[in-house]
Structure 1
Amino acid sequence: MPSLPGFTCGLDATLRVVSGKWKPLIIYFLAQEGPIRYGELRRAVRDVSDKMLIQHLKELEADELVKRTDFREIPPRVEYSLTPLGRSLAEALVPLCNWGVENMVEVKRVFEQRQAGDAKGR
């Protein structure tokens, strides 16, 4: 297996760019919707705060996964889209999405069971 400078393996490199609760969802919705405005993305990625969404978008842009296009209009209009590198990552996330769909009922059951156990321990 080739060694990557600064990474223990390829998965380590991948996890570093998608680390955080919201980045995979941002990438997913950008892949589904194409170029999208901030407000639309905010509605798609439910429960994310403005602070976290802005922070993650800036990090994804710095990692060259997301492109921010400012149309320099009044009122301001900005769109976000995936770069070719971002699209390739989105394609790599498809099997994880499929796994989630196929196992959603079981995962929900496990989480509910764990939550019930946590409640008993209090």
Structure 2
Amino acid sequence: MSREIYDCAAGCPVQSTVQIIAGKWKSVILYHLFQGDATRFSTLDRAIPSVTARMLALQLAQLEEDGVIAKQDSDDDRRATKYVVTPFGQTLAPVIEAMAAWGAAYNAREKERV
């Protein structure tokens, strides 16, 4: 998938970031990979019950194509693969952590309003 490089007015660096993590599930996938609680396709599928297997595979493939994640043979089962965040993908950790913190604060605020 080709990506544009934005070099324009304020806001364009944000657009460049959004190009990579946009999609309903990419940031959620990255959150789980950063947490370390799901690294195989099957565990990601269980961790995100609302996503279809087809969409999960598509989003994983796009993240892999963008160099954010990579497939590796699993240490305990050579027939299985796991997904790992690449060094380039690790640079997104503060972004995903900030999104998670903002989401938690938003959820708390919304609970208070009810």
TM-score of the aligned structures, taking structure 2 as reference length = 0.79
How big is each residue's C-alpha offset from its partner over 1:1-46, in whole Å with a ceiling of 9 and x where there is no partner?
Answer: xxxx732411011000011100000000000017711111111122
- In the TM superposition, 1:50-65 aligns within 5 A as 50-65=53-68
Identity %: 30
TM-score of the aligned structures, taking structure 1 as reference length = 0.74
Partner residue of 1:38 out of 37, 41, 52: 41
State the SS of the aligned residue for 1:36.
coil
How big is each residue's C-alpha offset from its partner over 1:62-114, in whole Å with a ceiling of 9 and x where there is no partner?
Answer: 0000011146xx8831110100111111222211211111120434688x9xx
Judge conservation of contact 1:67–1:82 (CA < 8 Å) in 2.
Answer: yes
Residues of 1 paired with 2:102 and 2:68: CA distance? 23
Judge conservation of contact 1:35–1:81 (CA < 8 Å) in 2.
Answer: no
Q: Which runs of 4+ in 1 moved over 3 A?
A: 105-110
Structure 2 unpaired stretches of 5+: none
State the SS of the aligned residue for 2:91.
helix
Considering only CA atoms, is the larger Rg found in Structure 1 or Structure 2?
A: 1
Aligned residue number for residue 24 of structure 1: 27
Q: Provide the alpha-carbon RMSD of the alignment.
A: 2.5
